[in-house]
């Protein structure tokens, strides 16, 4: 069988623009995105509000939701996608064999839809009573709890297991992310 006779799988060679995952150098997500945009690639870095403390002061900054990762929109039949790998700030393009691996269909579009006007992702509309949520900021960062109170104010209540017992913790809804169970 010659290469002309080799069947091409549609999944291995997607047509049209898709989102692909790019790994950046440490703390260079914005630098990589800027350099990719200078080459006319469309990029997206999902960011969330993160509390940073320094010298007894705290402030909220936008930090990447997935540190060291960003997304780039590519049409593999048209774009010079190999140029992504040699872009300043880029460590690698996540590959599946000899082709870039696309992000799951609809994931990036959903993240873009939840982005607020300030550029951060806002999961408030997706919070439902009783669901599992992950703390994104603060002293309970990365802990998972259960949402027990939700209203239109700036606070929600989450049931969290602390030291062997469940405690109710009040936080701002922007500090939480829904967890798919």
In percent, the amount of the chain with pLDDT more than 70 equals 87
Q: Each residue of 97-146: pLDDT tens digit? A: 999 999 988 888 888 887 877 777 766 667 788 888 888 777 787 888 89
Higher-pLDDT residue of 52 and 103 is 103
Whole-number pLDDT of residue 124: 66
Q: Which residues of 122-149 are buried (b: 16+ CB within 10 A; e: fewer)?
A: ebeeebeeeeebbbbbeebeeeebbbee
Whole-number pLDDT of residue 2: 40
Q: What is the mean pLDDT of residues 69-86?
A: 93
**Element spanning 30, H or E:** helix 29-38
Q: Answer whether residue 16 shows pLDDT above 90.
A: no
Q: Answer whether residue 5 shows pLDDT above 60.
A: no
- Which one of 17-21, 54-58, 166-170, 176-180 scores highest in mean pLDDT? 17-21
CATH number for 124-178: choose from 3.40.50.300, 2.30.30.30, 1.10.10.10, 3.40.50.720: 2.30.30.30
Q: How far apart are CA 98 and CA 71, in angstroms?
A: 18
**Which two tokens mark 89?**
């700030």
Higher-pLDDT residue of 23 and 62 is 23
Measured between alpha carbons, how far is residue 26 from residues 33, 70, 157 in Å?
13, 12, 34
Q: Answer whether residue 160 shows pLDDT above 50.
A: yes
Class of domain 18-113: alpha beta
48 CB burial (10 A radius; 0-12, 13-18, 19+): buried
**Element spanning 107, H or E:** helix 107-113
Extents of the domains making up the chain: 18-113, 124-178
Alpha carbon distance, N-terminus to C-terminus of the chain: 46
Q: Answer whether residue 90 shows pLDDT above 60.
A: yes
Whole-number pLDDT of residue 15: 65
Secondary structure class of 126 (helix, strand, coil): helix
Handedness of CA 127, 123, 107, 160 (dihedral sign): negative
Whole-number pLDDT of residue 9: 43
Higher-pLDDT residue of 14 and 157 is 157
């Amino acid at each position: 069988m010659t290469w002309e006779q080799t069947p091409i799988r549609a999944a291995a060679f997607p047509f049209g623009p898709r989102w692909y995952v790019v790994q950046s150098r440490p703390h260079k997500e914005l630098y990589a995105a800027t350099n990719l945009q200078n080459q006319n690639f469309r990029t997206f870095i999902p960011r969330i509000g993160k509390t940073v403390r320094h010298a007894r002061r705290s402030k909220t900054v936008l930090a990447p939701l997935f540190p060291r990762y960003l997304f780039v929109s590519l049409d593999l039949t048209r774009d010079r996608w190999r140029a992504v790998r040699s872009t300043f700030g880029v460590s690698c393009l996540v590959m599946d064999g000899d082709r870039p691996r696309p992000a799951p269909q609809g994931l990036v579009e959903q993240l873009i839809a939840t982005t607020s006007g300030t550029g951060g992702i806002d999961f408030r509309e997706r919070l439902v009573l009783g669901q599992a949520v992950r703390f994104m900021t603060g002293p309970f960062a990365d802990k998972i709890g259960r949402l027990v109170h939700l209203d239109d104010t700036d606070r929600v209540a989450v049931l969290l297991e602390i030291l062997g017992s469940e405690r109710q913790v009040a936080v701002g809804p922007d500090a939480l992310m829904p967890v798919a169970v």
